[in-house]
Amino acid sequence: MVQPKIAPSMLSSDFANLASEAERMIRCGADWLHMDIMDGHFVPNLTIGAPVIESLRKHTQAYLDCHLMVTNPIDYVEPFGKAGASGFTFHVEVSKDNWQELVQKIKSKGMKPGVSLKPGTPVEEVFPLLEGENPVEMVLVMTVEPGFGGQKFMPEMMDKVRVLRKKYPSLDIEVDGGLGPSTIDLAASAGANCIVAGSSVFGAPDPAHVISLLYKSVENAQNSS
Ligand SMILES: O=C(CO)[C@@H](O)[C@H](O)COP(=O)(O)O
Ligand SMILES: [Fe+2]
């Protein structure tokens, strides 16, 4: 059975207090911290890069689940490895020609390679990356258009999750965008085990309660499947 992981998206945190926000999330029961890296080109928004990951790493031992919404992910592997990133998830839409080199490089820097796909990208496009000698170890299914937090969950993306879970029973499948107490059951029953949640966690009066609801939903779905 794949381990449930709840990953609050730090995009919804107070960036001016990133270290204490990270610590607060871990205290609230978060398994991973989801870090959204946007280059203002692949997506129309600009966030943080390796220097911020490096600074945060000095304050936490937590798993830093980095989601690279960038046009040239290969340029980021070395700096992110040095900075202390744990997971490095790139987008399939910009990696068709060099994903093999990318995966190899990510692993050689001690990070876990993942691939993400935008809502309009067919799930079949990630299949080659899950086969062969050097596969990715996680698929991140976007459930909103990448770029911003606080958008509405797209339930039609659950078909992709179902297809992936059927084909790859032990794969880490992450969902990202619009996840919270009202949408988690759809994602959990489709087979997602890694759950990114930004606004629903940071906007809640009791983030620990939301994190535990998300975790329990994944556990329940796994126990009844
Ligand atoms: O990658 C992204 C957005 O591009 C996400 O990680 C969001 O930051 C999730 O935020 P919510 O939809 O949960 O508010
Ligand atoms: Fe993300």
Q: What is the mean pLDDT of residues 163-170?
A: 98
The one-letter amino acid code at 1 reads: M
Percent of the chain with pLDDT over 90: 99
Pocket test of ligand 1: the residue of 15, 174, 176 to mutate, having most ligand atoms within 8 Å of its CB, is: 176
User: Residue 198: CB within 6 Å of ligand 1?
Assistant: yes
The three-state secondary structure class of 117 is strand
Query: What residue numbers bound the domain in which 179 lies?
Result: 5-223
User: Is-catalytic flag, 97?
Assistant: no
Catalytic residue among 31, 36, 39, 172: 36
Residue 114, pLDDT score: 99
Residue 225, pLDDT score: 87
Count of structural domains within the chain: 1
Token pair listed for 63: 């798993």
User: Is-catalytic flag, 185?
Assistant: no
150 marked among binding-site residues: yes
pLDDT tens digits, residue range 82-116? 999 999 999 999 999 999 999 999 999 999 999 99
* pLDDT band at 65; cut points 50, 70, 90: very high
ipTM computed for the complex: 0.99
User: Residue 196: CB within 6 Å of ligand 1?
Assistant: yes
In this predicted structure, the answer to whether residue 190 has a pLDDT above a threshold of 90 is: yes
CATH number at residue 94: 3.20.20.70
81 contacts: CB under 8 Å, gap ≥ 6:
88, 106, 109, 110, 111
159 marked among binding-site residues: no
Q: What is the mean pLDDT of residues 63-73?
A: 99
Residue 1, pLDDT score: 79
pLDDT tens digits, residue range 32-61? 999 999 999 999 999 999 999 999 999 999
User: Residue 149: CB within 6 Å of ligand 1?
Assistant: yes
The sign of the torsion formed by the CA atoms of 91, 92, 93, 95 equals positive
User: Taking the mean position of all CA atoms in its chain, how far away is CA 4?
Assistant: 13
Residue 34, pLDDT score: 99
Token pair listed for 30: 């978060």
Pairwise CA distance, residues 144 & 63, whole Å: 23
Residue 167, pLDDT score: 98
Look over the chain and give the mean of its residue pLDDT values, rounded to a whole number.
Answer: 98
Whole-model pTM: value is 0.98
pLDDT tens digits, residue range 167-184? 999 999 999 999 999 999
Ligand 1 atom closest to the CA of 67, numbered from 1: 1
Pick the ligand that lies closest to the CA of residue 146.
1
CA-closest candidate to residue 168, choices 217, 115, 120, 131: 131
CB 127 within 8 A of CB 117: no
Q: What is the mean pLDDT of residues 144-155?
A: 98
Q: What is the mean pLDDT of residues 150-174?
A: 98
